[in-house]
Structure 1
Amino acid sequence: MMRIFKRFVLLLIFTVLAYGCHAQQETSLKTLVLYDPLFWRHELRLDSHQSRKITDINREYYARLMAAVSEMPGDRTALQLTVARCLLNRSQSIWETFNAKQRRKWRKIWRDRFRTSDPMASNHQSKAARQSVGSIMTL
């Protein structure tokens, strides 16, 4: 019974993510930013303004997560949906911070480092990607 519930929640979260991604013209599952691009600051050639903006986006993301945890301590489903929405908003904000060349570079980094063009592909995800997504799903 619990397994069915977890699968339902995961399906619901992915549906929300898919809807949000589809609703945005430029954001898709292929552009979901699961990792912090500041790790690749030099490769992406982020200027200081972009680095500060991404840092601010990350601070806001974690502040929203902490607020959600304190506001919804007993409602696990609502918390998971909020986490998914926060991740989607963070991804979109970071993606909008990149210029066209940096977006191409980000896609290349993703393809080369994680050997997939789709960050949500389960068959070829790296261990770190599975843990990252898994930690979001088990909050």
Structure 2
Amino acid sequence: MIRLSPEQTVFVTERHLATLTTLREDGSPHVVPVGFTWDAELGIARITTRESSVKVRNAAAGHGGSRAAICQVDGGRWLTFEGTVSISRDPEEIAEAMRRYARRYRELTPDPRRIVLRLAVDRVMGSDYMVR
């Protein structure tokens, strides 16, 4: 079970964008800006996206064993989640991701092409003053 420090917990609820890194077929990183939400109870980060995105294709292909990383930075504060990425097309999961996204960023318009990338976090790294 991943447990964040109180400082890290606050940091992942503030409005910040992050980057998501997935791996291409040749092993090179594909890095894109994303908004994400943290579900402490399940230990997962959720990213809503469209079915046609490259990040979804990379996750589906399983390059690098479907490993991915999300990194959020604000000045000297940073936090990286690493884990296994999977794709969810479940309507309840999409609705939950949209609810959480609305709390952190803004409301999303419904989109039938929307899916969720789930990052099952197994490693957390962060700036020294945030990690205890």
Q: Which one has the bigger strand percentage?
A: 2
Establish whether TM, by shorter chain, passes 0.5. Answer: no
TM-score in terms of structure 1 length: 0.24
Please say which structure displays the higher CA radius of gyration: 1
TM-score in terms of structure 2 length: 0.25
Q: Which one has the bigger helix percentage?
A: 1
